[in-house]
Amino acid sequence: MSAVAVANKPIEQRVAEAYLRIETLEAEFRTVTIGGLLRERAGTHASTLAINIFERGECLTYAQLDHESNRYAHALQGFGVRKGDRIGVMLPNRIEFFIVFFAIAKLGGVMVPVNMRFTPREIEYVLSDTQATFAIVDETVMAAFSAMDCWPDSLEKQKIIGVGQPFSTSGALLSALLNGAPESTVDVAAAPDDLAVIAHTSGTTGFPKGCMLTHEWFAVSAYDWAHFDSCPYSRYLCWSPFFYILGPMQLLKCFYQGGTLYQAQQLSSSKFAEWIEDYAIESCLLPEFIARHVSRDAVKSLKQVTCSLGWSVEAIREFRMKFNIRAANIYGMAEIGMGSAFIGDVPEMEEAGSLGHRAMFRQMQLVNEDGGPTPIGEVGELWVKGRGLFSGYWNKPEANAAQFDGEWFKTGDLMRRNELGYYWFVGRKKDMIRRSNENIAASEVEAIVREISEVADVAAVPVVDARRGEEVKIVVELKSGFQSSEWLVKRIVEHARGRLAAFKVPRYIAFTPKLPRNSSEKIVKRDLVNVPDPLAGAYDSEEGHWR
């Protein structure tokens, strides 16, 4: 539909048409397992390139990926992997990771992705939390993996599969297991409601909680995201690590379209426009700080972008005016998959900074502190329910009881809604920091910093950052007799680097004689956030100077 025709049609009519389209798509949805989706595409798009890890020169067609994942599944089965087993997977964006994902799914196993940046302490927690009985580990992180102080009781060292060069701590090499493995379909019946992945996401209690994601979760989420696109595209770009749930979601979204996913090793602001131009990318997640500096010629192949890290209203308007490319914020999280989206021609809501209307198979409501409904235009906590939500937190009955009210999941995010059913993000009820698509529990950062003998107490808070969305800042109260110094800052940073993944390490360190507290002695973080210049007087550990 032309822009003129859209503008001449009343917005209420266009919104009604969007909701009708959602209902039609919901009726057309046919659930499928992860392995089943790949088999379908191998039948309909056999010779089409499914994935191209261009920086490594690794690529597979749909037929090749289907056959290779069958071989991997047979190899893992021969090594002892059975349906329901949890398998820790600690790999970078290399072709083996993508094949392993489908192989485990075909076996009815449960993949437990482990962040490549995790320290031995964090690796041990994830594996012990899920009682993983197998692990597939890359050569580049085998040293950190082997350095776990407390080895997980469930994981025998001979059940570790190494990828790459041989290591004494691995029980077998993946390449050796694959020798002679057939390409035939594995005779295991995985069902849509079977658990496929346990993805750890940070919570306010410190250590991350394992979200139980079924094959249905992936099918619903990918189907929904695929239909967010204005039309099917053939060339998608992904820069997310595959151990982060955003990676598999984008891959399966692409598979619904029968397109090719061009996979980068990591986000690069200097190479992003080059990637789009070189591979004629049509759709991607695009961070705002990169969008502000790309040229019209570099992105001429782009037809649509999803706004990564939440663009400002001004940035969305400027981008659409400059490039005439659709750009919109959407909302999702590991627990619910897609929560909101835009379907239909309602550019007014996209350009107003809305996160969209309810996604497919989602019901949404805003709830006040007293549990009652929030009036239109006012702020409340978002609760979500519907088909394909996560199955709860692994082995966390207390967290499940706190986060669910019947079928409703309490997101912890504060939003407002207009009379048309469109939502706007306002803030977080949870004590969380979101840095470059990674959720960071403030309490985990604080617990590590409190281990330092000179620290009396500490508060971790978010600081707005144009590149990463938010950065981690800590405000430190020292014990009597100690003073702030560059030496102490470096001691704090080095201790954090040894105990936390790199993305959790505080960038900014500030000191205060006394942290603000209420009558119950609880730290009042809003007094630390709501200041004219949150960086004034803080040490920037990335740039190495006081601000």
Long-range contacts of 312-318, Cβ-Cβ distance < 8 Å, separation of 24 or more: 312/288, 312/353, 313/351, 313/352, 313/353, 315/288, 315/291, 316/350, 316/351, 316/353, 317/351
Query: Is the pLDDT at 116 greater than 90, yes or no?
Result: yes
Q: What percent of the chain has pLDDT over 70?
A: 97
Average pLDDT of the chain to the nearest whole number = 92
Q: How confident is the model at residue 1 (pLDDT cuts 50, 70, 90)?
A: very low
Confidence at residue 83, expressed as pLDDT on a 0 to 100 scale:
96
For the entire predicted model, the pTM comes to: 0.85
Query: What token pair was written down for 210?
Result: 């394992």
User: Which of 163, 172, 114, 115 has its CA nearest to residue 140?
Assistant: 163
Query: Is the pLDDT at 420 greater than 80, yes or no?
Result: yes
8 A C-beta contact, residue 336 and residue 384: yes
Query: How long, in residues, is the chain?
Result: 547
Count the neighbouring beta carbons within 10 Å of the beta carbon of residue 463: 18
The residue written with tokens 């959407």 in the block is 330
Query: Is the pLDDT at 5 greater than 80, yes or no?
Result: no
* pLDDT tens, residue by residue, 484-523: 999 999 999 999 999 999 999 999 999 999 999 876 677 8
* pLDDT tens, residue by residue, 336-359: 999 999 987 788 998 888 999 999
Query: Is the pLDDT at 453 greater than 80, yes or no?
Result: yes
